[in-house]
Every structure is written in C-alpha cells, then in structure tokens.
Structure 1
Amino acid sequence: MELCPTIKNILLLDSEGKRIAVKYYSDDWPTNAAKEAFEKAVFTKTQKTNARTEAEITMFDNYIVVYKFVQDLHFFVTGGENENEIILATVLQGFFDAVGLLLRGTEDKKEALENLDLILLCLDEIVDGGIILETDANVIAGKVDSHSMDAGAPLSEQVNLLLFHSSDYPLAKSIATILTYLVLQQTITQALATAREHLTRSLLK
C-alpha cells in the first residue's frame, strides 16, 4: 500500500533568514534551537539562487527542499528524501499563490506581518499533521477569508490562534501576550461600564 505524501515543514522567512511564519509537522527537529538551526542552514544554502520566476529544488541534509522567493519573502516546503518532488512543489505553489491572494499582491515582509493571522490560517488549511489537505490557492484563500478574524472579532480568538502557533516562533507569543493584556483591559472596561450602568439605574429609581 502506497503511503500518503507527507510534509516535514513549511517555512516563510524574510530576506535575512528570520522567521515570519513557520510550521513543523515532524519530530526531526525536537527543539526550537534545532528548528532555527535548520532554517538558518536552508536559508544560507539557497539565498544566492534565483528562485523568483520558478520554484527550485535542492537536497539538504537528507531532505528535499523546494523554495521560491518574492520581494523579501522566502517560501520553503520540506519533505523526506524519498518524497515526490512534484507534490512538494505543488504544495509550495499553493502556499505561495494563496499568500499572494491574501496579501492582495503586496507581497513583502511588512504586509505579511500585518496579516500574520491570515498566513497562520493559510498554513492550517494546506497541511494538517504533515498530511496535505489542499493545494489550490483559490480554495485556500477562500477558506481563510471565510473564517478569518475581522476587526470586530473578539480579541480572545486572536490570542488563541497566536498561542496555538507560539511554539514555532516567538513573534506570535509576543503578540499573544500583548493581546492578552488587551483582553483583560477590555474585560475590566466592560465590567466598569456595567457597574456604572447599574449604579446609574439604582440612583434613578
């Protein structure tokens, strides 16, 4: 019986090799330090290549890595050494195009960070536990848009999403900490407003 293709990780790095959004689906890198070392090594190996018009493929440390760049964003998808390169490239292209749709053509680090929640949702729609769910960029972007958090969404939802991904990169944890503070402030403000309302009503009786 043929095994389903699996993804080891999906990486979105900036032009200096720093994390923007990453997701690991394998225990091959058991610690955050191991993950960061892999990211640095992959970035160093590929940064001088011209992967801006078409995706390129390389073998690295017994893994197949497919990658593509746009502006200051570097996209990577990693699979095992026996994985199908075409499938990995299809996943990469789906992620690449979906991010382009979600960022509405402004594909750079600043825009990516401002829409980090959408990119995290995008990753969740593409792969789950290493198993490929979807590679069609239009479908991925459509699903993300359908349940993405708009400006009116509760801050608690944003905190939960960022905390879910915080083990993969510290930026999400930092943002989640700030949002947690805002949630508490929001709760306190609402409580005070309710108390004032009850007090006003009691005085008017």
Structure 2
Amino acid sequence: MDSSSLEASLYTVKAVFILDNDGNRLLSKYYDPEFYPSMKDQRNFEKNIFNKTHKADTLDEIAFLEGMTIIYKSSIDLFIYVVGSAQENELMLMSVLNCLFDSLSHILRKNVERRSLLDNMEGAFLVVDEIIDGGVILESDPQQVIQKVNYRVDDNSLSEQSVAQHITDKLALTSVVLQSAKEQIKWSILK
C-alpha cells in the first residue's frame, strides 16, 4: 500500500448526502474532486450505497463499500450518509453524522423527514457548511453549529445578518484550521 495514503490529513470527509426513501438525492456535497467527479458517477455511487443500506434494521450503521467507509442514519423517510476513505476513523465520521442529524433535528423542529427538509433546504446547506468545509471537519457540537448558523426556528428564516455572520465565521474558522494544520505538520516533521 502506498505510504502517502496512510498519512494524517485534515481532509476527512469525502462526501455527505441525504437521500429520500426511494434513493433520490435531496442534498449532496462532494469534497474530493477525484472522488466521483461527474454527476452521473455521483448518482451511481449514491444509488449503489442506497441499495445496499436502505434495508438495515438499525438507525445507525457503518458500511465499507467501494473502498469507502460509509456512516449512515435513517429517519422516517430520509437516509443521511457521511463518506470517508477506507482508512478513516469511523468515530470521527460518526461524530459528523451525529452533529449533522442533531443540528437538522433542531432546525426542522425535531421533524427530520423529507418534506420538512425540502422546506428548509437553505438551513440544511448552512448546517453542512458549518460542520464541514472542503472535507475538513470544522465542528462536531450541534449547539455550536446552530448558534453559528443563527437559524431562527420561530420565524423559520435566515436574516441577511446571519448569512454575513456565517461568511465571517467561516473565514475566521479557516484561519484557525490552517494554523492547526501548520502545527500538525511541524510536529510530524519534528518526530
């Protein structure tokens, strides 16, 4: 096996997607340009994963398919998937999945199902963007995600100020992640 593929990386998540109970895509984000680069490849991958996972008896599950580690959860008529490489730590991927599910549960008023998700898609995309940026896990605490998204459950809308704050917070967080990466590289060189 190539030793470069086993090196530590901040790029943990390859993809996140949510499918309905028929396997249709509702939300998806792919972070690795080499990982299913075309829309057709992505949809085939999602369909294959759905066909192998939708009959599971448990709510949370781990699968190893097509050389990927796939963590997924079902809720009413949704299937939420987080995909990482075969060498990725399942607990890290599970923390992303749990954070995503709990954050969505909050903004959807504990009604994590297809219709509610479609009605609140902008909030769902903001939640995903607060948890993962370019494949790097930024946050795993749902309370922090909800606070950063500043989603107003009472009026079910995002203000211009919350979107501007979201962009500002992402820039600040990117700076922190880059500093952390520099430290990690420094320590790996010093070993």
Superposition TM-score, scaled by structure 2 size: 0.74
Matched, 1:85 2:90: yes
**Which amino acid counterpart does residue 31 of structure 1 have in structure 2?**
S
Q: Within 1, Cα distance between the matches of 2:95 and 2:133? A: 16
| Count of residue pairs brought into register by the alignment | 153
Matched, 1:3 2:14: no
CA offsets 1:145-204 (integer angstroms, 9 cap, x no match): 259983775xxx8xxxxxxxxxxxxxxxxxxxxxxxxxxxxxxxxxxxxxxxxxxxxxxx
CA offsets 1:92-125 (integer angstroms, 9 cap, x no match): 1110111001101111100000000000001100
SS of the residue corresponding to residue 8 of structure 1 reads strand
Q: Within 2, Cα distance between the matches of 1:123 and 1:24? A: 11
1:122 paired residue among 101, 108, 127: 127
Q: Which has the larger radius of gyration?
A: 1
Which ranges in structure 1 are unaligned for 5 or more consecutive residues?
Answer: 158-205
1:111-190 to structure 2, matched below 5 A, reads 111-145=116-150, 150=157
Percent of aligned pairs sharing the same letter? 33
Q: Within 2, Cα distance between the matches of 1:26 and 1:2? A: 16
**Which amino acid counterpart does residue 76 of structure 1 have in structure 2?**
Y
1:45 paired residue among 26, 43, 52: 52
**Which amino acid counterpart does residue 47 of structure 1 have in structure 2?**
H
Q: Within 2, Cα distance between the matches of 1:7 and 1:150? A: 28
Superposition TM-score, scaled by structure 1 size: 0.69
Check whether the contact 1:9–1:78 (CA below 8 A) recurs between aligned residues: yes
Larger mean Cα displacement after TM superposition, 24-33 or 141-150: 141-150
Q: Within 2, Cα distance between the matches of 1:29 and 1:151? A: 32
Other-structure match for 2:173: none
**Which amino acid counterpart does residue 11 of structure 1 have in structure 2?**
F
Which ranges in structure 2 are unaligned for 5 or more consecutive residues?
Answer: 1-6, 164-191
CA offsets 1:62-110 (integer angstroms, 9 cap, x no match): 0000000111111100000000011111111110111001101111100
SS of the residue corresponding to residue 77 of structure 1 reads strand
SS of the residue corresponding to residue 62 of structure 2 reads strand
Q: CA RMSD in A?
A: 2.2
Check whether the contact 1:134–1:140 (CA below 8 A) recurs between aligned residues: yes
Q: CA deviation at 1:51?
A: 3.0
Q: 1:3 to 1:13 in 2, by over 3 A?
A: same
Other-structure match for 1:57: 62
SS of the residue corresponding to residue 102 of structure 2 reads helix
